[in-house]
Amino acid sequence: MVFTDSLLSRSPFGCLQATLSHGVPTGTGLPTGTGLPTGAGLPTGAGLLGAPRSAVALTYLLLFTGMVGMGPVWAQKDAFSAGSFVQIDDSEEKSEEEGSNGESGAASLNAAPDPVDGIDFPDEATAGEDISSAEAALAHDARTLSRAFRFAARKATPSVVTVFSYGQNTRPRGNRARKDKDKDDEEENESLPDDRPIGPSPPKMTEDEGLPLTGMGSGVIVDPDGWVMTNHHVIRNARRVIVQLSDETELVATGVYGDPDSDVAVIRLKPKRPLVAARYGDSDALEIGDWVLAIGSPFKLEATVSAGIISARDRTIDKIRRGRLLQTDAAINPGNSGGALINLDGHLIAINTAIATRNGGNQGIGFAIPINHARWIAKELSQYGKVRRAAMGIRLAELNPKLAKQLKLPTNLGVLVYQVVKDSAADKAGLKNLDVILEFAGQRVRKPATLQEVVERQAVGSTQKIKIRRGGETLIREIILAPLEDPTDVETPDEKQKDQKKEKDKVDEEKADGDKLSDDGEAGSEDSEVADPAADESEDEADQEDESDA
């Protein structure tokens, strides 16, 4: 026999109909109180072994009456669609006297009793009330999430700004550059209604320098004194940068510093009043599936908010050489670069930076720089105008299952030292090829990207402990970190002590010469030059701007 539906898909009444049509053999020892209607017209004289159809029918009957525990499941399944579970009461036993009387059985069938005795099906009113309760609960949850979105957006939006870049890769007063830019703007606005302004409308040319508007992105205020964090590609090679606040106030940047390796940049402003700064969150605490909001100025539409989740962690892309990224499906489009990615508390947890797309727009795959990493980059840029990264001078490899099997090591034991640069910090610390780094500066590491991030954040010239595995033995070494630009530029403790002594002797010598000049009356003469602090400040800013452009 072939059944077109499964046992669990049959309703209790359908199972009873199958029982009545196939028949159940007598003498099977059915217990009383099975809940069957009287006069069911069960056939007599059908042997159990000689009637396969009857055996199947018996199975249906047993399942239906709950002898093998399936009756409640069916009853619950059918009633679940009505919004509630039904109660099966099989404690009450019924007499079988009427079941042996054919006339009484026929009368019972003609009377059309409830086909399932003991099952209390909910009426339409009760089912409607249950469905209404479920819908109300869902609506309450939706409203709660909506309120969370509103709270987070309201809290973070005042800290998100629009960044305009002028004169990127163009001549300051070239007529050709101006004509080309005007043509591009006309083509860009062809699909937009002429009578509807779209987003912020800065001047296409700066009045004082005649520089064309060449780029636009977003940024986040991270310090009330006037520091804005954005992407490096937003301000790259810009000769002038203007920041528009959420209240449409425009401020001209006095300093711009970027790091192309991480795509993080900071903009220095001098506001007349303290700005509303974003509050930092903890990007290391994020988990896949967490709700996030992206805020920025996509397609010149400022303060646009879109919602999504964290889709993945530790992503890498070719355009960002150093650092791991968060992946999100929150809508990120051109113009969102440098904007905020926040959690439901309204805290800044990442800087939007890139998308994976085939048509130039959002396709549900966006990338953002974790704020714990971006914050360190921004601090370096604001204090030193560049990012000082430390290095050990080794090439790393991930200890994946295939490589671990070849080396007879546990998978993901640590980070494999693939090659040690000669005379580098790692070489002087005694590291060798095929060492496995287990810990660095007290932090457990298993991925090359994790180790790289931990190392580069340490101070250049600092001494750090490193735990390694070599030939079944665990060793601890001390390493003096070198600058990333030259991993061999590292001093041993003896060399460092000698240099410190030379520096001290030099200071003492200069101090002695100064005292001698004072005694001779030459110091402080009218011919001596007096430095202008304002001039030094302007020269320093000019040097920093040139360095950012390079």
Could you list the active site residues?
A: 233, 263, 337
Main-chain dihedrals φ then ψ at residue 25, nearest 5 degrees? -70, 150
Closest to 223 (Cα-Cα) out of 263, 265, 279:
279
Question: From the centroid of its chain, how far is CA 69?
Answer: 46
Specify whether the CB–CB gap between 416 and 401 falls below 8 A: no
Give the whole-angstrom CA distance, residue 163 versus residue 232. 12
Q: Which amino acid is at 150?
A: R
Residue at 418: amino acid letter: Y
DSSP state of 86: P
Residue 183, token pair as written in the block: 């043509």
In DSSP notation, 204-244 reads: SB-TTT-PBEEEEEEEEEEETTTEEEEEHHHHTT-SEEEEE
Query: How far, in Å, are 54, 235, 277, 280, 404 from residue 223 at the CA level?
Result: 82, 19, 5, 11, 46
What is the Cα–Cα distance from 25 to 139, expressed in whole angstroms?
Answer: 53
Q: Which residue has the tokens 């034991």?
A: 413
CA dist., res. 499 & res. 493, Å (int)? 10
Geometric angle at alpha carbon 345, from 374 and 292, rounded to 5°: 65
Q: Are strands 340-342 and 390-391 parallel, antiparallel or unpaired?
A: unpaired
Q: How far apart are the first and last CA of the chain?
A: 81
Q: Which residues pair with 440 in a beta bridge?
A: 443, 466
> Are 167 and 209 in contact, with CB atoms under 8 Å apart?
yes
Q: Residue 351: helix, strand or coil by DSSP?
A: strand
Other CB atoms within 10 Å distance of the CB of residue 401: 10
Distance CA 148, CA 159 (A): 18
Closest by alpha carbon to 61, among 96, 14, 100, 103?
A: 14
Contact 8, 73 (CB under 8 A): yes
3-state secondary structure 265-312: EEEECCCCCCCCCCCECCHHHCCCCCEEEEEECHHHCCCEEEEEEEEE
